[in-house]
Each structure stands twice: as structure tokens, then as C-alpha cells.
């Protein structure tokens, strides 16, 4: 699977944090920090908006690096994505994403199908 597909199936290439990091776009960092602060009910500063992707080496947002339960579980299980885990369709962790994002669900289903 494409390395820029996150463990949860989201497309990191479309993530504003990754785009802001690669383009060093301060305005996009500010906009993303404000939006993510509002959506998550926590303070996120523009300085925290630095990430190159969930599954690639390099900088990550503080949430993705240390707090994301999906990423931590996938790293522990040593799976390429959650789609490679036999339990992913019943998993409450990844359900936070795939329950609201049909594209992420489809990517994980395709990844699981190609692994069999």
C-alpha cells in the first residue's frame, strides 16, 4: 500500500499538516491549528502542525507521534495498515475514522483484500 496512506486509511497526501510542512506554509499551519483546536476541544498551536505522514519516517504532530491510539496499536501489532489486522472491522479505535470516512474504509478493505 502507498506509504502515505495512514494506518487508519486516511490519505496523508491530502492532510493540511503534511502540506503545510512540505511547503513551509505558516498561514496553513495557523488555519489548521485553529480548526483542529475547535474540532478537538484542545489547544493546538501552529508550531504543532508539522508532519510528513503517519507511516513514513520524519516529523509528526504530537498527537500522531505519541497519542493516536490507532497508530500505537498498529505499531504494536506490526501491521502495514489496520486493514491487515483481522479485527479491524470490529475495532472501536479505527471506527473513529472509518465510521465517518468512506474513502478510508475503502482503502482498508482494499488493503485487506490484496493481503489474502
Q: Which domain holds residue 81?
A: 12-115
To which residue does cell 505519541 refer?
66
> 7 in a domain, yes or no?
no
> 57 in a domain, yes or no?
yes
- When the pLDDT of each residue in the chain is averaged and rounded to a whole number, the result is 93
> 75 in a domain, yes or no?
yes
To which residue does cell 485553529 refer?
34
pTM of the complete model beyond 0.85: yes
Based on the structure, what is the number of domains in the chain? Answer: 1
Residue 114 pLDDT: 65
> 44 in a domain, yes or no?
yes
> 2 in a domain, yes or no?
no
Phi and psi angles of residue 66, each rounded to the nearest 5 degrees, phi first = -120, -25
Contact (CB, 8 A) for 107 and 12: no
Tens of pLDDT, residue by residue over 27-62, are 999 999 999 999 989 999 999 999 999 999 999 999
- CB count within 10 Å of CB 26 equals 11
Residue 9 pLDDT: 96
Which candidate, 42, 67, 55, 53, places its Cα nearest to that of 13? 53
Tens of pLDDT, residue by residue over 4-25, are 999 999 999 999 999 999 999 9
Residue 1 pLDDT: 74
Amino acid at each position: 500500500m502507498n506509504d502515505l496512506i495512514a494506518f487508519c486509511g486516511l490519505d496523508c497526501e491530502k492532510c493540511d499538516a503534511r502540506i503545510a510542512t512540505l511547503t513551509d506554509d505558516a498561514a496553513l499551519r495557523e488555519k489548521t491549528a485553529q480548526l483542529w483546536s475547535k474540532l478537538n476541544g484542545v489547544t493546538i498551536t501552529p508550531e504543532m502542525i508539522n508532519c510528513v505522514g503517519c507511516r513514513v519516517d520524519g516529523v509528526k504532530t504530537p498527537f500522531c507521534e505519541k497519542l493516536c491510539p490507532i497508530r500505537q496499536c498498529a505499531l504494536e501489532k506490526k501491521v502495514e495498515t489496520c486493514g491487515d489486522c483481522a479485527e479491524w472491522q470490529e475495532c472501536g479505535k479505527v471506527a473513529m475514522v472509518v465510521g465517518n470516512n468512506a474513502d478510508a474504509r475503502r482503502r482498508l478493505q482494499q488493503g485487506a483484500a490484496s493481503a489474502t
